[in-house]
Amino acid sequence: MERDGIILRHFRKDAIRLLRPVWPLVVVATALGSVGGLATAAALAKINEAFYGEGALAEGVLLGFAGFTVLSIVGTFAASVGNTYAGGRIQAALSRDLTDKILAAPIARIERLGRHRLLASLQHDVHEIYTAISFLSPVVVAAGTLIGCSIYMITLSPALSAVTAAVLIVESLGENVLRRRMLRHFEAMRANREATQKHYLALTEAAKELRIGRERRLHLRNVSLNSCIEEWRQLTTRNTVVQQSMSTLSQTTNFLLFAGLIAYKILAGLSGAELSGFVLVLLYIQGPISQLIHFTPMIGQAQLAYRRIAELTDEGAEAEAGLLAAPSTQAARAIREVSLRGVTHAFPSAGGKPPFTLGPIDLTIRAGEILFIVGENGSGKTTLIKLLLGLYPPQTGTILLDGVPVTAETRDAYRQHFSAIFFDYHLFDELAPTGGADAEAVRPMLAQLDLTDKVDIDQGRFSTTDLSTGQRKRLALVQVTLEGRPILVLDEWAAEQDPTFRRRFYEEILPELRRSGRTLVVISHDDRYFGAADRVLHLKAGQIVEIVERARAAEPA
């Protein structure tokens, strides 16, 4: 209940913020829709008056009918266009908001949520909310029609109106029970969509592995995906049954109402004009009632979609401030050292495994040095560089840049002193975000990395990135070198290189990068090349076990 209350408060704040730029349009469109609905009811009254009025057809009846008809059509059309436009603006704002939330969310939070859940929100949740918003126009028109028709029915027969209201109240209670069941189905369908998204990612990203691994391929198809597909089939079938039950309940209620009208006419002597007018209105309002029933599952889906989006806001205090501010025009300055003092980061136990803690780490990285970080898998190497890069904030301890502590407010500015190629790196097509890289300056780098026969520069982009893993990492090295930042972090960069190029990396490329003014932090398992480092830091079980200083031969000028 407390969590639902928090989400409701977030929803109210977001609704006000999103509606603020378009609220005049929404108000006008809603008012026009209401007027159109009321005009529809008034047109029905004129039709009934024309059918059962005594004597010749009065001129005012025809003119009134024509006027109300035009008002109904114009109001309905204007409401539809206005709310569609407003809904599009709100959908765009929601998409931008969700993008901003993901960009500003802590890396650890994104890792916990998983790519499949974030993709599900980006692809489906925003659309579900937009669908509900875009359907507001016909709902407003339907509500206006129902209100107007209800007023007219009361003028025809207060007693019959009371009976009708009582039956509709009973119907709404039954629909409420079905609505709650529908919401449970929507929650299960949303979880199923996330699981299916995860398997679809595997289907595309692991295409090569699946092609050569029959058992894994068939397990993904026959077990993982098939179970999700079958569960989706069952859930959609059940949900359709619930929706059809709501429609059947409405239909049954209508027949009961008509039976009651017939009985009332017999017992109370209701006139034919009153009865026919009442029946005419009841028949007409079936359309608006169906629209309101159809809107019910949309509201449920939109509520669930917003709840999923709000999960990124639940821990809003964690979100980093200033990440979306305009970049500084100043180049990254030269630095003297980066120090970690008593820094720790702990992971909770998962899957029956004991919790893992890195640290406390005490380490100073000096400008211009080459530091290797080595250790067995699971020793904490990647966690250490994420702390060093400011991707994980220290849970205890402090990071200092030239003796000044890095705080939450300065962490992003601190990160701008680093470039990194992670083991699971992403290779962008663009050489640089601004597209201002000089092709003639880049081509010598491509030649040094043996890529000139594979890649060229075309309008600030690589002509292709469809290369081997090792060659793609060389392109990534071109990108980070162009960034010109003083500290370069390389996570197992040489792992996919051939032996000849691996030697060139350690003996030629790293020294050249150092001569250009870079400080280099390298995660490596290549013990034969440890001599290329000034220091080698050994990690084991989250602890620094030793730091070996290595004598370095003088480099050629």
Say which DSSP state 353 is in: B
According to DSSP, the β-strands at 337-347 and 356-366 are: antiparallel
- Please report, as a single letter, which amino acid is at residue 315: E
Q: For 361-399, give one letter per residue: b (16+ CB within 10 A) or e.
A: bebebeeebbbbbbbeeebbbbbbbbbbbbbbbbeebeb
Counting DSSP H helices and E strands in the chain, the numbers are 19, 12
Contact between 171 and 245 under an 8 Å Cβ cutoff? The reply is no
Contact between 479 and 429 under an 8 Å Cβ cutoff? The reply is no
According to DSSP, the β-strands at 461-462 and 457-458 are: antiparallel
Task: Report how far residue 466's alpha carbon sits from residue 229's, in angstroms, rounded to the nearest whole number.
Answer: 32
Task: Report how far residue 143's alpha carbon sits from residue 137's, in angstroms, rounded to the nearest whole number.
Answer: 10
Given this chain, do its domains 2-317 and 337-347+355-549 carry the same CATH topology?
Answer: no
Task: Report how far residue 204's alpha carbon sits from residue 221's, in angstroms, rounded to the nearest whole number.
Answer: 13
In 135-213, where does DSSP find H-type helix?
136-156, 158-205, 207-212
Return the domain boundaries, the chain. Answer: 2-317, 337-347+355-549
**Residue 418, SS3?**
strand
Averages of pLDDT over each 10 residues, the chain, 557 residues: 57 67 74 74 70 56 74 77 76 77 77 73 74 71 76 78 78 78 80 82 74 80 88 88 81 77 73 70 73 72 74 56 68 83 89 83 94 92 93 94 92 90 84 66 86 84 86 90 90 89 92 93 91 94 89 50
What per-residue confidence (pLDDT) applies to 61? 64
The second-level CATH assignment, the architecture, of 337-347+355-549 is 3-Layer(aba) Sandwich (3.40)
What per-residue confidence (pLDDT) applies to 426? 83
Task: Report how far residue 33's alpha carbon sits from residue 80's, in angstroms, rounded to the nearest whole number.
Answer: 8
Which are the contacts of 222, defined by CB distance < 8 A and separation ≥ 6? none
Task: Report how far residue 128's alpha carbon sits from residue 112's, in angstroms, rounded to the nearest whole number.
Answer: 24
The residues that bridge with 370 in the sheet, in sequence order, are 520
Contact between 381 and 523 under an 8 Å Cβ cutoff? The reply is yes
pTM of the model: 0.67
Please state the φ and ψ torsions of residue 348, each to the nearest 5 degrees.
Answer: -70, 165
- Please report, as a single letter, which amino acid is at residue 268: A
According to DSSP, the β-strands at 418-421 and 487-491 are: parallel
- Please report, as a single letter, which amino acid is at residue 465: T
**Residue 452, SS3?**
coil
Contact between 429 and 461 under an 8 Å Cβ cutoff? The reply is yes
Say which DSSP state 324 is in: T
* Cis check: omega of the bond before 297, within 30 degrees of 0: no
CATH number belonging to the domain at 2-317, selected among 3.40.50.150, 1.20.1560.10, 3.40.50.720, 3.60.150.10 = 1.20.1560.10
254 half-sphere exposure, CB direction, 13 A CA radius: 18
